[in-house]
Amino acid sequence: MSPTPLAISVVVPLYNEDESLPELCRWIERVMDENGFTYEILFVDDGSSDASWEVIGALSAENPNVRGLRFSRNYGKSAALHTGFQAARGGVIITMDADLQDSPDEIPELYRMITEEKFDLVSGWKKVRYDPPSKTIPTKLFNAAARWISGLPLHDFNCGLKAYRRPVAKSLRVYGELHRWLPVLAKWNGFMRVGEKVVQHRKRKYGTTKFGLERFLYGFLDLLTISFVNRFGKRPMHLFGAFGVLSFFVGTAMTLWLAFDKVYSIYTHQKFRNLTDDPKFFLALVAIVIGVQLFLAGFVGELLTTNSERTTEYQVRERVGFEQGDFRVNV
């Protein structure tokens, strides 16, 4: 007989958060018990150097609903989320940060929006934030650019508190800094019902922030990357081939015009100069060469897209609450 499906999986990526984990776990357990949810709490330790893994082991020993995965090294938040999504068993998957700045009290309403309002994904919006201006101002600019590029009317793309229908989470391939763009990835995977909920933002109670301004640059570059890949990743010839053909025909037209102009000047006994003495002739040759190269780049891209697949393996070092055997996750 198959086990009863879990209502909720709470996926918590973490790095050096040993002080906050017991309080967070007790808080989640209280919310789940008060609402009668069947659940699991899945901690994904992204290669912490403190006692986070030992704390997770102790929490799992106290509560069989607590499971944990530990990376052999620090891969980043995207890798932790991707691994958590693949390992999660709940019908609704909720993600939150481990620093206690996300409130587990939001879980029941997020669950209701997924199950009753039929959203594919609900993203939290920390409308009132307790971060310094050095973080809030870049965040506002970042979110404005994201809304313009993605077409999603969300206010807080990077909020760690989100809820997903199980098929949505399982469909996401998260790597690099793409954890910032999960609503965008879901939309481009065909899950169009993306909602937003105002959530509480709490001041950090333990430890120090891992935030750095360079992460905004990396995140923005990743947004441009996924925008490009979404449009042209499967058909690179549509981009490179189009520009290549355009460049080739412009160069060919310029060459023919220069040749016609010389022949006409000879026929009418007008003064002329050799084609090789005209800078426009070399510009035309450059345009032809670039056109051919772009076309070939598109052709090679089509071959690579057809015959290759991205596979990045994350090596899980240890785990608690899982059956025995290797656990590897491919992106």
In which element (H, E) is residue 317 found?
strand 313-320
Q: Which of 95-104, 149-158, 203-212, 291-300 has the highest mean pLDDT?
A: 95-104
Alpha-carbon distance of 65 to 45, in angstroms, equals 17
Name residue 316's beta-bridge partners.
71
Work out the pLDDT band at 326, boundaries 50, 70, 90: very low
Q: Torsion angle, CA of 148/126/175/233, rounded to 10 degrees?
A: -20
pLDDT at 295: 84
The H-or-E segment that residue 107 falls in is helix 107-115
Class of domain 6-232: alpha beta
pLDDT for the residue 331: 45
Helix (H) or strand (E) holding 67: strand 66-71
C-alpha torsion sign, points 320, 323, 328, 331: negative
pLDDT tens figures, 220-256: 666 666 667 666 666 677 778 888 889 989 999 998 9
For the chain, domain boundaries: 6-232, 237-307
